[in-house]
Amino acid sequence: MPDLKLEPAPTAMDAARKPNPPAQPPLDARLTEQRNPRSLRVDQMSSLEIVDLVNGEDRLVAAAVSDEREHIARAIDLVVESFRQGGRLIYVGAGTSGRLGVLDASEMPPTYRIEPELVQGVMAGGYEALLRAQEGAEDIPEDGAQAMDDREVDGRDFVLGIAASGTTPFVHGALQRARERGARTGFLLCTYPTEELLQAHDVVIAPLVGPEVITGSTRMKAGTATKMVLNMISTAAMVKTGKVYGNLMVDLQVTCQKLQDRGERILMETLGVSRDEAAQLLDASGGHVKTAIVMSRLSLDAEAARKRLEKAGGSIAALFGR
């Protein structure tokens, strides 16, 4: 195999927002469908060269996400507003995008002790599509609309469509129906947003990570960018609604030995108690760290502590400061 000279990866700005003009117009204007000039000979590279190439491309992702920081913050504020009105955060997607939405939603209840309905992931093709690709399911906008009707989406909700290419019919159908039902909507994509898209939604997040190493394989850079953005949105929303004290997940749900240990350590650190005392407090609180903290600091039983928390909007900081 001949030696292959790898060009250094450009910055995110160079690679995505201001790409070098191609020798001829691309057959598809979407960044997610364009060929990456740095991987044209990937099929001739050694394993180490492929690792270096993919790693170099992945370095572009964080910078591209950073470029969208203000739009991400806007989405966070919309989510928090929905929660405070009794609404929900609903992700809608297909393929990799849909699975990432479902993944983020599924991780919220054990991490932050929320009801599963508060953050939901809607996947084109349903549960079966999580395990086995149902590619045709994404082409039916009426199914997306029906998913919003089934969940009785209303003006309290925020619905975030996720589609790396920006064109998935299922997602567009869901968002159109969500808007008709009064919900706020957002769109997360990894190509240039159209003016129509920008006008249609309350927020559009478009981290431009550039063409993939394998053309069209948006489970790679686009998927990584999507995961980063969803992490930011859901985590910040949980922080801003009192699920975190300092940087501790005081609203975690003790469902396994790992979380039992973490809960005990949080109590030991915040209250200055021993491991045995922390375990007793956690047991008395019903496995709820936040309640245990209030019980200890105010010398209350679990029921009284929960009532004090409820009055404080669930925020320990509102009760005790930092």
**Given the DSSP bridges, would you call strands 89-93 and 119-123 parallel, antiparallel or unpaired?**
parallel
Provide the annotated active-site residues: 107, 138
Task: Specify whether the CB–CB gap between 170 and 138 falls below 8 A.
Answer: yes
What is the CB-side half-sphere exposure of residue 225 using CA atoms within 13 A? 36
Q: What pLDDT score does 30 carry?
A: 86
- What is each CA distance from 97 to 68, 87, 207, 291, in whole angstroms? 18, 23, 14, 36
Structural domain that includes position 102: 69-240
Same domain, 227 and 262: no
Q: What pLDDT score does 25 carry?
A: 64
**Element (DSSP H or E) covering residue 122:** strand 119-123
Same domain, 92 and 146: yes
Same domain, 185 and 272: no
Residue 23 lies in a domain: no
Same domain, 163 and 298: no
Residue 182 lies in a domain: yes
Q: What pLDDT score does 28 carry?
A: 77
Same domain, 266 and 207: no
CATH code for the domain in which residue 293 is found? 1.10.8.1080
Same domain, 105 and 219: yes
- What is each CA distance from 265 to 111, 113, 241, 298, in whole angstroms? 15, 18, 23, 20
Q: Which of 240, 266, 296 is the last residue of a domain?
A: 240
Residue 301 lies in a domain: yes
Residue 89 lies in a domain: yes
Cβ partners under 8 Å of residue 214, min gap 6: 39, 42, 220
Q: What pLDDT score does 127 carry?
A: 86
Same domain, 235 and 88: yes
CATH code for the domain in which residue 177 is found? 3.40.50.10490
Same domain, 207 and 296: no
Same domain, 221 and 282: no
Provide block-wise average pLDDT over 10 residues at a time, the chain (322 residues).
42 40 64 90 95 96 98 98 97 95 95 94 90 82 97 98 95 98 98 95 97 94 98 97 92 86 95 96 93 94 94 88 66
Total residue count of the chain as it appears in this document: 322
Same domain, 315 and 224: no
Q: What pLDDT score does 24 carry?
A: 58
Task: Specify whether the CB–CB gap between 198 and 204 falls below 8 A.
Answer: yes
Residue 36 lies in a domain: no
Residue 245 lies in a domain: no
Question: In total, how many domains does the chain have?
Answer: 2
Same domain, 169 and 98: yes
